Structure 1
Amino acid sequence: MITYIRPALLRSGLFGLLCVAALSDAAPRHALTLYDEKPKYSADFSHFEYANPDAPKGGTLRQAGFGSFDSLNPFINKGVAADDIGLIYDTLTTNSLDEPFTVYGLLAEKIEKGPNNSWVRFHLRPQARFHDGQPVTAEDVVFTFETLMSQGAPHYRGYYADVAKVTAESQRRVRFDFKHAGNRELPMILGQLPVLPKHWWEGRDFASGSLEPPLGSGPYRVEEVQAGRTIRYARVNDYWGKDLAVNRGFYNFDRLVFDYYRDNTVALQAFKAGHFDYWLETSAKNWATAYDIAAVRDGRIIKEEIANRNPTGMQGFIFNIRRPLLQDRRVREALALLFDFEWTNRQLFNGAYTRTRSYFDNSELASSGLPDKAELKLLEPLRGKIPDEVFDQPFDLPKTDANGIIREQQRRAYRLLTEAGWQVRDDRMVDADGKPMKLEFLLVQAEFERVLLPYKRNLADLGIELEIRRVDVSQYINRLRSRDYDMIVSGFGQSNSPGNEQREYWHSASADNPGSRNFIGLKDPAIDSLVEQLIAADSRQELVTRTRALDRVLLWGHYVVPNWHIKTWRVAYWNHLAHPETTPRQDIGLTTWWKKPDAAAPVAKPVDERSGKPAGEAEH
Structure 2
Amino acid sequence: MTTLLQGGVFMLLCGTTALQAEPSHGIAMYGEPALPEGFTALPYANPDAPTGGRMATAEVGGFDSLNPYILKGSVPWQLSYLIGESLMGRTLDEPFSLYGLLAESVETSPERDWVEFTLHPDAAFSDGSPVTVEDVIWSFETLGTEGHPRYLGFWEKVESIEETGERKVRLTFNTPDRELALLAGMRPILKKAQWEGKDFAESGLDTIPITSAPYVIDDFEAGRFIALKRDPDYWGADIPFRRGTNVLDEIRLEFFGDETAAFEAFKTGETDFTREFNVARWESQYDFPRVRSGEVVLEELPHGRPSGMTGFVMNSRKPVFEDWRVRQAMIEAFNFEFINDAMTGGAQPRITSYFSNSPLGMDEGPAEGRVKEFLMRWEDDLLPGALEGYALPVSDGSERNRKGTAAALALLSSAGWVIQNGVLTNESTGEPFAFDILLETGSSENASIIDMYVQALERIGVTPTITTVDSAQFKERTDAYDFDMTYFRRGLSLSPGNEQYAYWGAEAAGTPGGRNAMGVQSPAVDGLIDLLLTSESQNDFVAATKALDRVLTTGRYVIPIYQWNISRIAYDADLHHPETIPVFGDWPGWQPDVWWHEEAAEGTEDAADAPDTASEAESAQ
**Residue type of the partner of 2:518?**
I
Partners in 1 of 2:384 and 2:276 — Cα distance? 40
> Residues 168 and 396 from structure 1, CA distance in 2 versus in 1: closer, same or farther, beyond 3 angstroms?
same
Match of 1:381 among 377, 395, 417: 377
Q: CA RMSD in A?
A: 1.8
**Residue type of the partner of 1:557?**
G
Aligned residue number for residue 356 of structure 2: 361
Q: Does 1:425 align with 2:420?
A: yes
Match of 2:189 among 181, 190, 195: 195
Match of 2:63 among 37, 62, 69: 69
Aligned residue number for residue 609 of structure 2: none
Aligned residue number for residue 112 of structure 1: 107
Aligned residues: 577
**Residue type of the partner of 1:538?**
E
Partners in 2 of 1:592 and 1:148 — Cα distance? 25
Alignment of 1:208-287 (within 5 A): 208-211=202-205, 212-287=207-282
Partners in 2 of 1:28 and 1:591 — Cα distance? 31
Q: Deviations over 1:336-383 (max 9, x none)?
A: 101111111222211221111111010011112211121121122322
**Residue type of the partner of 2:462?**
I
Moved more, 322-331 or 293-302: 293-302
Alignment of 1:61-460 (within 5 A): 61-86=55-80, 87-181=82-176, 183-211=177-205, 212-368=207-363, 369-392=365-388, 394-431=389-426, 432-444=428-440, 445-460=443-458
Aligned residue number for residue 514 of structure 1: 512
**Residue type of the partner of 2:523?**
P
Contact persistence 1:56–1:594 (CA under 8 A): no
Residue 59 of structure 1: CA displacement? Answer: 0.9
Aligned residue number for residue 11 of structure 2: none
Contact persistence 1:580–1:592 (CA under 8 A): no
Helix, strand or coil: the match of 1:81? Answer: coil
Contact persistence 2:58–2:265 (CA under 8 A): no
Q: Deviations over 1:54-79 (max 9, x none)?
A: 11110111112221111111111100
Q: Does 1:567 align with 2:565?
A: yes
Normalising by structure 2, what TM-score?
0.90
Partners in 2 of 1:88 and 1:552 — Cα distance? 37
Partners in 2 of 1:470 and 1:360 — Cα distance? 30
Partners in 2 of 1:315 and 1:428 — Cα distance? 30
Contact persistence 1:352–1:566 (CA under 8 A): no
Helix, strand or coil: the match of 1:561? Answer: strand
Contact persistence 1:128–1:241 (CA under 8 A): yes
**Residue type of the partner of 1:152?**
G
Residue 563 of structure 1: CA displacement? Answer: 1.4
Aligned residue number for residue 618 of structure 1: none
Structure 1 residue runs of 5 or longer lacking an equivalent are 1-22, 602-620
Greater C-alpha radius of gyration: 1
Residue 492 of structure 1: CA displacement? Answer: 2.1
Match of 2:491 among 490, 493, 511: 493
Q: Deviations over 1:417-476 (max 9, x none)?
A: 111111111100010222111111111123211111111111101101122221110000
Alignment of 1:553-564 (within 5 A): 553-564=551-562
Q: Deviations over 1:180-233 (max 9, x none)?
A: 23x111110110011101122212221113223332211011111212211111
Residue 100 of structure 1: CA displacement? Answer: 0.8
Contact persistence 1:499–1:534 (CA under 8 A): yes
Structure 2 residue runs of 5 or longer lacking an equivalent are 1-17, 603-621
> Residues 600 and 201 from structure 1, CA distance in 2 versus in 1: closer, same or farther, beyond 3 angstroms?
farther
Partners in 2 of 1:424 and 1:153 — Cα distance? 45
